[in-house]
């Protein structure tokens, strides 16, 4: 019988970690093939069929930055083609290579993989497909703050509380309000930014160091030295990390035969990133989320099970919320031209999961014998009816209907499961026909593209 390995994986923007349960029953981080507890989420293409992952890839970026990829998590769910040595890759295939580097040659891996709480359907499906391309069976995509709360509630078993989890990672930012207690973990509200993280502070430090060198050594142009520019990225990150332990430090910069020393302290770092996090805006957004969720808590509280504390972490129930609103594309009745379209959200951001909503719409022309159903997901920070602020995730057609008069009712039910599966049912009460669509997402990586990427990755040798 084949051995099945079950892991927890934090597929991070800048670092990836794998974990297992020790003989003593506690979660422990597993070292990679180099003995490191974390693997940089960086991929370097030495050739079409050979890649480096991790620290070696990050080091190679100083020599060949054009063949190196980092921060790919920020592009998960995007339709993006990347070419290295003439071979096409996507965010999913790059992430799959990161996973292969972190997991190593272990076969039969099943995993719970963490994702940012605000990840929508497209981002979650992209993560799921990345794991599949890496040969990993996904047991669950678990929201990162829920994972943190599960760890906390296990480490401090008597701590029943409502907690704000403020997760500023390497490239993404989560804020989530959780309620933890005897009956598991419940997400009250969540928000975040997929393009904010420690890497942004690194870039500010890098710019400061570059400008400081240019001012101190005016006879040397550091902007033209690609090796120096790449090395500067690593120096900036190290300086930032060092300032977590010490109040100040000197950074020695060498370029073009010249050198200089730049002083950095914590106050300088704070000033550099002062505009990256708008605290007042963050607090206001959370206040709005909490105001809306207070009633939801009362309703879901009635569903809590009675009973004693569960001893096994895997048995602890978790209740999460819808990260982004979902709606149906309809005709804008306020548009005199009759050409306008808007998205009517029926399942709302921060609704408790599982979530289901049924709404009634109507046909728009006489003798209509088919109805097209297009489901959209909120794309921006705030739900909007504007089509441009949403993205289509499902598209289907209910056909073969008897000719219907204009204004005939059409019922559309949207459901989102606890693991993010989106289901859509459309029916016309006057007909027995109905349309059923079920998918994690429409159009992230279709079947033929998945097969193409799988064939590409099968020929790739991954090393650290």
What is the pLDDT confidence band of residue 140, given thresholds at 50, 70 and 90?
confident
pLDDT at 206: 93
Q: Flag whether pLDDT at 306 surpasses 70.
A: no
Q: What's the sign of the alpha-carbon dihedral 339, 340, 345, 346? A: negative
Q: Flag whether pLDDT at 156 surpasses 80.
A: no
Asked if the peptide bond before residue 354 counts as cis, ω within 30 degrees of 0, the response is: yes
The C-alpha torsion from 79 through 348 and 277 to 200, rounded to 10°, is -20
- pTM, two decimals, is 0.73
Q: Flag whether pLDDT at 397 surpasses 90.
A: no
Contacts of 415 (CB under 8 A, 6+ apart): 347, 354, 355, 356, 357, 422, 423, 424, 425
Domains along the sequence of the chain with CATH: 5-156 (3.30.420.40), 198-272 (3.90.640.10), 322-439 (2.60.34.10)
Kindly report, residue by residue over 212-236, the tens digit of the pLDDT.
999 999 999 998 888 888 889 889 9
Q: Which of 66-80, 303-317, 385-399 has the lowest mean pLDDT?
A: 303-317
Kindly report, residue by residue over 184-195, the tens digit of the pLDDT.
667 777 777 777
Kindly report, residue by residue over 82-122, the tens digit of the pLDDT.
999 999 999 999 999 999 999 987 778 888 898 887 788 88
Kindly report, residue by residue over 279-301, the tens digit of the pLDDT.
666 666 656 555 544 323 222 22
d(CA 399, CA 288): 41
Question: For tokens 């927890």, what's the residue?
Answer: 8
Q: Flag whether pLDDT at 76 surpasses 70.
A: yes
Q: Flag whether pLDDT at 61 surpasses 90.
A: no
Please check whether residue 54 is in contact with residue 463, taking contact to mean a CB–CB distance below 8 angstroms: no
Q: Flag whether pLDDT at 37 surpasses 80.
A: yes
Please check whether residue 389 is in contact with residue 426, taking contact to mean a CB–CB distance below 8 angstroms: no
d(CA 417, CA 422): 7
Please check whether residue 309 is in contact with residue 157, taking contact to mean a CB–CB distance below 8 angstroms: yes
Q: Flag whether pLDDT at 388 surpasses 70.
A: yes
Q: What's the sign of the alpha-carbon dihedral 196, 180, 310, 319? A: negative
Q: Which of 197-206, 323-332, 414-423 has the lowest mean pLDDT?
A: 414-423
Name the burial class of residue 280, with classes exposed (0-12), middle (13-18) and buried (19+) by CB atoms within 10 angstroms of its CB.
Answer: exposed
pLDDT greater at residue 379 or residue 344: 344
Q: Flag whether pLDDT at 311 surpasses 50.
A: no
Share of the chain above pLDDT 70, in %: 84
d(CA 122, CA 90): 14
Please check whether residue 146 is in contact with residue 178, taking contact to mean a CB–CB distance below 8 angstroms: yes
CB atoms near residue 371 (< 10 Å): 23
d(CA 94, CA 75): 10
pLDDT at 84: 95
CA 302 to chain CA centroid, Å, is 31
Kindly report, residue by residue over 327-343, the tens digit of the pLDDT.
999 888 777 776 788 99
pLDDT greater at residue 182 or residue 327: 327
As a whole number, the mean pLDDT across the chain is 81
Region 65-76: mean pLDDT is 92
What is the pLDDT confidence band of residue 441, given thresholds at 50, 70 and 90?
very low
Q: Flag whether pLDDT at 394 surpasses 90.
A: no
Kindly report, residue by residue over 245-262, the tens digit of the pLDDT.
899 989 999 998 899 999
Report the candidate in 365, 347, 341 with the shortest Cα–Cα distance to residue 412.
Answer: 347
Q: Flag whether pLDDT at 310 surpasses 60.
A: no
pLDDT at 447: 64
* H, E, C per residue of the chain: CCCCEEEEEEECCCEEEEEEECCCCCEEEECCCCCCCCEECCEEEEECCEEEECHHHHHHCCCCHHHEECCHHHHCCCCCCEEECCEEECHHHHHHHHHHHHHCCCCCEEEEEEECCCCCHHHHHHHHHHHHHCCCEEEEEEEHHHHHHHHHHHHCCCCCEEEEEEEECCCCEEEEEEEEECCEEEEEEEEEECCCCHHHHHHHHHHHHHHHHHHHCCCCCHHHCHHHHHHHHHHHHHHHHHCCCCCEEEEEEEECCEEEEEEEEHHHHHHHCCCCCCHHHHHHHHHHHHHHHHHHHHHHHCCCCCCCCCCCHHHCCEECECCCCEEEEEECCCCCCCCCEEEEEEECCCCECCEEEEEEEECCCCCECCEEEEEEEECCCCCCCEHHHEEEEEEEEECCCCCECCCCEEEEEEEECCCCCEEEEEECCCCCCEEEEEECCCCCCCHHHHHHHHHHHHCCEEEC
CA-based radius of gyration for the chain: 25
pLDDT at 155: 57
Please check whether residue 199 is in contact with residue 312, taking contact to mean a CB–CB distance below 8 angstroms: no
pLDDT at 72: 94
Kindly report, residue by residue over 312-368, the tens digit of the pLDDT.
334 455 667 888 899 999 888 777 776 788 999 999 988 888 899 999 988 888 988
Report the candidate in 184, 219, 8, 204 with the shortest Cα–Cα distance to residue 102.
Answer: 8
Q: Flag whether pLDDT at 369 surpasses 50.
A: yes
Distances (CA, A) of 270 to 244, 249, 264, 336, 387: 12, 15, 11, 52, 38
Share of the chain above pLDDT 90, in %: 29
Kindly report, residue by residue over 267-276, the tens digit of the pLDDT.
998 889 888 8
d(CA 36, CA 129): 26
d(CA 332, CA 320): 32
pLDDT greater at residue 161 or residue 130: 130
Report the candidate in 205, 201, 268, 278 with the shortest Cα–Cα distance to residue 235.
Answer: 205
């Amino acid at each position: 019988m084949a051995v099945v390995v079950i892991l927890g994986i934090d597929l991070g923007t800048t670092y990836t970690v794998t974990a297992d349960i020790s003989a003593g029953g506690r979660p422990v981080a597993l070292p990679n093939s180099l003995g490191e507890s974390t693997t940089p989420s960086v991929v370097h293409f030495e050739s079409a069929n050979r890649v480096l992952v991790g620290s070696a890839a990050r080091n190679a970026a100083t020599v060949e930055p054009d063949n190196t990829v980092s921060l790919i998590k920020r592009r998960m769910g995007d339709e993006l083609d990347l070419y290295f040595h003439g071979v096409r890759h996507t965010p999913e295939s790059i992430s799959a290579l990161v996973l292969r580097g972190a997991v190593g040659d272990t076969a039969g891996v099943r995993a719970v993989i963490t994702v940012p709480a605000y990840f929508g359907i497209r981002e979650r499906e992209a993560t799921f497909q990345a794991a599949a391309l890496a040969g990993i069976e996904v047991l669950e995509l678990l929201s990162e703050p829920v994972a943190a709360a599960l760890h906390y509630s296990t480490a401090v078993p008597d701590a029943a509380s409502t907690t704000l989890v403020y997760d500023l990672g390497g490239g993404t930012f989560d804020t989530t309000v959780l309620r933890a207690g005897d009956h598991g973990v419940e997400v009250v509200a969540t928000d975040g930014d997929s393009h904010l993280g420690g890497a942004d502070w690194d870039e500010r430090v890098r710019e400061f160091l570059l400008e400081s060198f240019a001012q101190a050594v005016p006879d040397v142009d550091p902007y033209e030295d690609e090796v120096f520019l790449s090395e500067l990225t690593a120096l900036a990150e190290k300086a930032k990390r060092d300032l977590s332990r010490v109040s100040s430090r000197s950074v020695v910069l060498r370029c073009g035969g010249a050198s200089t020393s730049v002083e950095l302290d914590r106050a300088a770092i704070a000033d550099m990133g002062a505009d990256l996090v708008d605290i007042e805006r963050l607090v206001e957004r959370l206040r709005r989320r909490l105001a809306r969720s207070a009633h939801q808590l009362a309703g879901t509280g009635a569903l809590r099970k009675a009973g004693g504390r569960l001893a096994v972490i895997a048995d602890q129930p978790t209740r999460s919320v819808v990260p982004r609103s979902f709606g149906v594309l309809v005709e804008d009745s306020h548009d005199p031209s009759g050409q306008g379209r808007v998205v009517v959200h029926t399942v709302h951001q921060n609704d408790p999961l599982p979530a289901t909503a049924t709404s009634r719409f109507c046909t728009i022309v006489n003798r209509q014998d088919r109805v097209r159903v297009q489901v959209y997901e909120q794309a921006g920070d705030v739900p909007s009816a504007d089509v441009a602020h949403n993205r289509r995730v499902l598209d289907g057609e209910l056909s073969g209907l008897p000719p219907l008069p204009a204004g005939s009712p059409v019922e559309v039910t949207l459901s989102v499961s606890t693991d993010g599966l989106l289901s859509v049912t459309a029916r016309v009460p006057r007909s027995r026909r109905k349309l059923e669509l079920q998918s994690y997402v429409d159009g992230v990586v279709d079947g033929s593209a998945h097969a193409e990427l799988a064939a590409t990755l099968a020929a790739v040798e991954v090393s650290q």
